[in-house]
Amino acid sequence: MAQQDITHVFGLDASNVVGLLNELEELGLVLRRRDHTDRRRHIVELTSGGALVLDSTFARLASIEDELLFSLSMQERETLHRLLLQIVTSR
């Protein structure tokens, strides 16, 4: 994904994205390279190590979500998710 697209998708300030990507690159979690069709653009790629960290993070988040929402049925969880998504996307 293009670095600029990451900025737009996540609604972050471009300078914050640069700092974040610098840290992720230093940790070996992403690679940045110039786009061969447009030298002004940087393409950001997840490394295999980054994919492992991402998978682990999603697993931990699922565990935390289960712990937090243990008293809700799956239908209630889906309703909560839908309502929260509605709040976030309505701004």
Boundaries of every domain in the chain: 3-89
At 68 the pLDDT is 96
Structure confidence at residue 39 (pLDDT): 84
Name residues of the chain where pLDDT drops below 70: none
Chain CA centroid to CA 71, Å: 27
Helix spans in 1-91 (H): 3-10, 14-26, 48-68, 74-89
Q: 29 — phi, psi (to 5°)?
A: -95, -25
Residue 77: its pLDDT value, please? 96
pLDDT of amino acid 11: 87
**What are the residues whose beta carbons fall under 8 Å from the beta carbon of 14, sequence distance 6 or more?**
4, 7
pLDDT at res. 16: 92
Global pTM value: 0.72
**Spelled out in words, what is the top-level CATH class assigned to the domain 3-89?**
mainly alpha
Q: Which residues pair with 89 in a beta bridge?
A: none
